[in-house]
Amino acid sequence: MGTFAFFYFAGIIVATAGMVVAFKNPIYSALALLVMFFHVAGLFVTLHAEFLAIIQILVYAGAILVLYLFVVMLLNLKREEHFHRQLLVGVFLGCVLFAEAVLLVLKGETTLGKSSPAADPALELTGGNTESIGELLFSTYLFPFELASLILLVAMVGAVILTKKGILEVKS
């Protein structure tokens, strides 16, 4: 059952990810991406990471992709007639990544066989993974967590300064 679910989700993810790039209409691409986000969330659920699954939908599907659609419609991009001239770079990067994946599988050093932390029964008994994630974020991973928030703050300030061009000139 678990294997079947994994291959269903993985297959749909690969197919829709391909569709995102292949569709010429940006709106169709966005919808394919939406389907993909849901299936990634499904993968999280099969790993007993319900919190991550819902956050995946809430953040990516609910906020980021809506903003994408918003921009696409505002600019009224009807069709992307030509593919961008990134074919060579794309093929090169694809080959590198594929080679890496093949090497990893050949070496056999994957974590597939090992038990994931989510499958630990002790964690499930402590009241779900939401609390475990919270505890980890504020103890073991406190520094990366605060660092990420700082980077986001910089991005926010940057966005404000870029869009409101008058701000800096008035002060100087």
Residue selected from 15, 22, 73, 102 as contacting another protein according to rule CB under 8 A: 73
Q: Where are the alpha helices (DSSP H) in the chain?
A: 2-22, 26-46, 50-55, 65-75, 87-107, 121-125, 129-137, 142-163, 166-171
159 binds another protein (CB under 8 A): no
Closest to another protein by CB, 13 or 129: 129
Binding map of another protein across residues 32-51, x = CB under 8 A, - = no contact: --x---------------xx
**Of the listed pieces 10-18, 55-63, 82-90, 102-110, which binds another protein according to CB under 8 A?**
55-63
The site that binds another protein (CB under 8 A) totals a number of residues, namely: 21
Phi-psi label, residue 49: left if phi above 0, alpha if psi -120 to 50, beta otherwise? beta
Angstrom distance (rounded) from CA 146 to CA 157:
17
Token look-up 């940006």 returns: 26
Cα dihedral 144/147/148/150 (nearest 10): 170
Residue closer to another protein by CB (options 40, 61) is: 61
Least separation in angstroms between CB 150 and another protein: 18
In whole angstroms, the minimum distance from the beta carbon of 11 to another protein comes to 22
Q: For residue 148, what are its two tokens?
A: 């990420």
Return the number of other C-beta atoms located less than 10 Å from residue 69's C-beta.
16
Closest CA to 129 of 54, 58, 40, 60: 54
Q: Which two tokens stand for residue 54?
A: 């819902």
Cβ proximity to another protein: between 12 and 133 the closer is 133
Q: Which range, of 6-14, 62-70, 105-113, 145-153, touches another protein by CB under 8 A?
A: 62-70
Query: CB-wise, 76 or 139, nearer to another protein?
Result: 76
**Site residues for another protein per CB under 8 A:** 27, 31, 34, 50-51, 54-55, 57-58, 61-63, 66-67, 69-70, 73-74, 127-128, 130
